[in-house]
Amino acid sequence: MSMLTLNGILQNVFEKPEGKNRETGEIIPASTQAQILAENVLEGGEKRLEMVTLKVHAGDAFRKLEGQYVRVPVGAFAREGKIQYYALKTEPLPLLNV
């Protein structure tokens, strides 16, 4: 079970083409990306909407849920002062919120 879960409306699923790391020249393989519109509640109680893009491993399962409210088990790390999220490989399917 994941410690973190990203909740929101699955807005879009798309294929990101193969790329190349500018610094190392390493080839970055193509991947499936899912965009989830998440609601972030601020300290004052106001809400801020954030679009979170995740690399996912079960693209077909995500495509079937476009436009629906989902819960996705995620991990997180900090890069360049921002929190980055990734879908967990051990729990690749999004969960439909009821």
Reported as a single tens digit per residue, the pLDDT across 32-51 is: 999 999 999 999 999 999 99
Phi–psi pair at 90, nearest 5 degrees: -70, -20
45 close to 65: Cβ distance less than 8 angstroms:
no
d(CA 8, CA 68): 8
Domain boundaries, the chain: 4-96
Give residues with Cβ within 8 angstroms of 75, minimum separation 6. 2, 4, 85, 86, 88
| CATH hierarchy code of domain 4-96 | 2.40.50
pLDDT tens-digit readout, 51-65: 999 998 888 888 999
Give pLDDT, residue 89. 81
Return the minimum-mean-pLDDT range out of 21-25, 75-79, 94-98.
Answer: 94-98
